[in-house]
Structure 1
């Protein structure tokens, strides 16, 4: 199972049982106990967030970028109005691979330096689910509660942008690339927010 933001958040506050050196990057993981520990933290995270209207399940290196809306809230409002029976939304992913080199030097912003990406792919979909209409087990799919259904979002509306090394298992990690500048429209806002936090 790939690490997602719920897991990352939860494990920063929960100590794994057994070997204290064990973690996501450790070489001495104990199986199958590791999978049990991982799923407990993810399920706990989902339970704590269950009162929210939407929950995004993704890696910590991911950013959801709308193309026709300025904010994610505007995007979700539009998707919900267009698909009133949706239990959640699946998004295609674009991979910005560090090995391809950065295109811009943007201090304080890792994500805005890498514009080259793969074309949107449905090989590893990411999703936002609606807790009152569906449930998300600790894997890459969510389960709808009848009569709700899953909805696939067109890449022309939004995609998830993943930044980092070439993901393990991705087919054609060095395919024809494209320069995607969607992230640059958020540059001023993101830099201001980052510097405020720093």
Structure 2
């Protein structure tokens, strides 16, 4: 829980930054905002005499094109499917506004690892405009479609041709408000247009902060849920956690697919334009050099939070203003590389948190460190102790952005 000083500082900062929303304040009460499901998220657990169709659909997003010849549009349903249904014939049940029911058999599937509940995305094509569809569901091929269905949504519409969006995946639990504000403001400062996230059991403090950014159009969020028969909590690093994460990645790709660029990063990660003053100039430069790029991989650096803190000027929590000792650039399979992709040039099936697959004659490039890097502020990974215990490098490059941020948000960092 945050102390009174911290709460007052954040409240004053928000009042200063969002002067037109003074009626929204940051509470210092001990409270957890429990996620409740909106009407368009449904549990699709259906039974017959021999087996249960175990499909949980988190979202259904429609796009005005289709991988199927002769179809005008399609819906991407992202969620989980039991591995026992890998060969089960299912069908899309599409309910039209007119009341008509359309069935489509053997829809295209993307699947994750072979565990009990695997991440899945199912593509259901339609021959009508998206707005003609009332709801959509999945069912056994041999059973009748039910009226129980999911209300579809459409991708978020960007406001400019060079739009840049970040997917934060899932924000959950006791998040440090100061670090959240710093991360959001940093991304606004470098020119990011939109941040999308799912939220799960966030505190009222965090919810109040997000409301401010939602009001100005910078953040969009959606409640997260997972199948009720799962026995662990969000954030536990179990094998099935990565499947949950991939479900959100499927959703983010479709929801942000109209943006020119997408990146999936966490709240302790900062994309640093090292050659330019903002991310838009950086992307123009990269696309000039690599016009056939489908996306770019960024070299990550670990900035270790257990050594050499700079506490002379920063009194409240900060990542970019406090930690300047980093490892060498991480490479290889365990480097946790993050990417910037052009959604129109990559495959949905090959898009993951740490990798992507370009389509056609587009290519994947690693960005030169002189142009950009990924600053990752955390304690050392258990499998990288040799690197963390080696010679560290002092890197203060991000200070050029921190100093600009400090001028705007001085009350967050200073008494």
Distance 1:184 1:86 in 2: 30
Helix, strand or coil for the counterpart of 1:43?
helix
Question: 1:70 aligned to 2:277?
Answer: yes
CA RMSD across the alignment: 2.7
Match of 2:388 among 168, 173, 177: 173
CA apart distance, 1:111? 2.0
Map 1:1-198; keep pairs closer than 5 Å. Answer: 5-8=168-171, 9-12=197-200, 13-18=223-228, 22-25=233-236, 32=240, 34-105=241-312, 106-108=314-316, 109-123=318-332, 124=335, 125-135=337-347, 137-170=351-384, 172-194=387-409
Distance 1:143 1:76 in 2: 19
Asked whether the equivalents of residues 11 and 41 of structure 1 are also in contact (C-alpha less than 8 Å), the reply is no
Helix, strand or coil for the counterpart of 2:402?
helix
User: What's the CA shift string for 1:50-104, capped at 9, x where partnerless?
Assistant: 1110011222211011211111111111001110000000111111011113124
Larger radius of gyration: 2
Change (3 A) 1:36 1:141: closer
Change (3 A) 1:167 1:107: same
| Higher-RCO chain (CA-CA 8 Å, sequence separation at least 6) | 1
CA apart distance, 1:194? 4.4
Helix, strand or coil for the counterpart of 1:78?
helix
Aligned length: 192
Asked whether the equivalents of residues 103 and 116 of structure 1 are also in contact (C-alpha less than 8 Å), the reply is no
Asked whether the equivalents of residues 273 and 279 of structure 2 are also in contact (C-alpha less than 8 Å), the reply is yes
Runs of at least 4 residues off by over 4 Å: 192-198
Question: Gapped runs of 5+ residues in structure 1?
Answer: none
Please give the TM-score of this superposition, normalised by the length of structure 1: 0.84
Asked whether the equivalents of residues 104 and 114 of structure 1 are also in contact (C-alpha less than 8 Å), the reply is no
User: What's the CA shift string for 1:162-184, capped at 9, x where partnerless?
Assistant: 00111243352222111101111
Asked whether the equivalents of residues 303 and 378 of structure 2 are also in contact (C-alpha less than 8 Å), the reply is yes
Instruction: Please identify which structure carries the higher strand content.
Output: 2
CA apart distance, 1:130? 0.5
User: What's the CA shift string for 1:90-139, capped at 9, x where partnerless?
Assistant: 11111101111312442453321001111222232211010011135234
Distance 1:159 1:179 in 2: 14
CA apart distance, 1:187? 1.9
Asked whether the equivalents of residues 320 and 399 of structure 2 are also in contact (C-alpha less than 8 Å), the reply is no
Change (3 A) 1:39 1:196: farther
Asked whether the equivalents of residues 257 and 343 of structure 2 are also in contact (C-alpha less than 8 Å), the reply is yes
Question: Gapped runs of 5+ residues in structure 2?
Answer: 1-166, 172-196, 201-222
Change (3 A) 1:197 1:144: farther
Asked whether the equivalents of residues 10 and 42 of structure 1 are also in contact (C-alpha less than 8 Å), the reply is no
